[in-house]
Structure 1
Amino acid sequence: MHKGLLELSVVLYILVGTLVGFIGRWWMLRGDIRQYPTYPNGYLIHLTTGFIAAAMGSVAYPALISKNYVAVTFLALAIQQFRDIRKMEKESLHSVEGEVYAPRGSSYIDGIAKTFEARNYIVMITSLITTVSAFTLKIYIKNKIIIIILSALIGSIILYLLKNYTKGHHIRDIATIEDGELSFKDGDNLYVGEIYVMNVGLSATRKRILKNGIGIIIKPKGEMEKIILNHSGQTKALIHECSRLCGLERYVTTRRNFDNGDVALVIVPIKKDREYIKEIVKSVPILETLKKKSD
């Protein structure tokens, strides 16, 4: 290998690129209201792969300028490994679908798996640009500390831009969330506001729903938003997050108002916190298969 790779400055630049990428992976892994991946095993898996992605991105440019083309080919191998990670995530999530009351659904699982694969690419690109910036700044600046600070800043900016570019949307972006009053009309027909949900025959069940149930109405902001909320995969994701985070005494369901596109949610949760449930609904991600650019 070229002796230049043994220089302290080169090693420092590689370490800076790796560190910026690794910190970026940790930043993108912060738990949100869905608390995925699980702690601590999920964190360990994704932080480890993030470190590998950062290291691969950092060494690519030094290997290239030293004409060590064999080392660069490891990038292709790393990309294949990241694709395997996506496959692993899908298989893992599908394997537990039968053990939850409200499954995520295939569309939601596919979006989660793609997200974690894409984040490794973001880390790799960030580390690569950080290292390239350090080597470029070396031509014009002699102070190594300034070079490290500036290259880390450039890498952080790239990370921020890529994260925002790949950032998904949530229910709060396409709809407004309102309280819905639960009531029974014509004896045993359950309504949320003016939206019919289902027929409940047993009087004990009706009493339980009225006593412990919570009703939410999701109002889409436009025509495209109505289409998104009409997708069965999107409603599965909505039901899954509410039931997983609040628990269920027994009942959770949704029903759409065909006249205006509003969606009613009824849940009898273990954790009876209406505001918390509304926050969960707002934070449910829009499925990637439903994302469309406006005309």
Structure 2
Amino acid sequence: MRRVVAFVLMLAAFVAIAVSMAMNYSFWTAQGVDAATSRVLGAVSIMIDVFKALLPLAIAWAWIERFRLGAGIATLLFMGCLAFSFMSALGFAAWTRGEMGESHAAQTLRYAAAKTDLENVNRQLATVVAVRATPVVLASVERAKQDKRWQTSEQCRDATTGASRTFCAAYGDLQIEVASAVERDKTERLRAKLQSEIDALIKVGARLSGDVQAGILSNFSGMRQTRVQKGLTLLVALVVEGAAGFGLFLASLPLRGVKPSLDVTVERDRSRDVLAKRLASAKSSTRPTRLVRTSDGQLMIE
């Protein structure tokens, strides 16, 4: 079970490291005045992220080996890398949240404008709602052109009789109705376009407050929304850089105390047997020392 937990933590640590690298790389490449400078800054951020991820392991190993100087130097370097990455992540998070706020503000303004335009279009349509459908009106015009009065009046250019004048007046009304029908169709297409745009803006939250997350937390905590936004930005940077900096070290903790595998155990036992045989051989080849008394009564070592 420990190995499973260590494996999952290891995967999560690598994901956190990749996220941290992407955030810091994006932030620093945006700071370059030209393409070459951007690439250099991005490479520096990746290098620092690699040091930040691996130095905790090096510090732990140096401490276990009682190499205090190496552990101290690695600790100082790690603190510098962690501070650099944290500031980079903080800048990236603030930059991203600011862009999101600006984008949402623009969407909200566009939603208000589209809603006003839709209301105006609906009022225009209310004035022409009684007009017949355009194909019907056009068919009526074509039928009127088949009337003999259309020919006798020279297409209503010379309506001299009472019947011709009545016919041409009706034909003029048809032309007005055609124009109204065409304008209505154009207005209906505009209304459909505006409605589709409004629906799309609503889906991305144009009717909601500028920062929904910060707004909810602000209402719940009673703090100002700007302070909540700053706190969320700080939290994102802390979590990402903390996970990226200490992830591999924490992932190795479940493996502490795990019994070695069978091959390692056999090799260790074999080494112990060899050592025991060497000690026994050395002991057997060495004569034991003892104190003996000589003929004159003095003690000596034999």
Taking structure 1 as the reference length, the TM-score comes to 0.30
User: More helix per residue: 1 or 2?
Assistant: 2
- Structure showing greater radius of gyration is 2
User: Which structure is richer in relative contact order (CA contacts within 8 A, separation 6 or more)?
Assistant: 2
User: More strand per residue: 1 or 2?
Assistant: 1
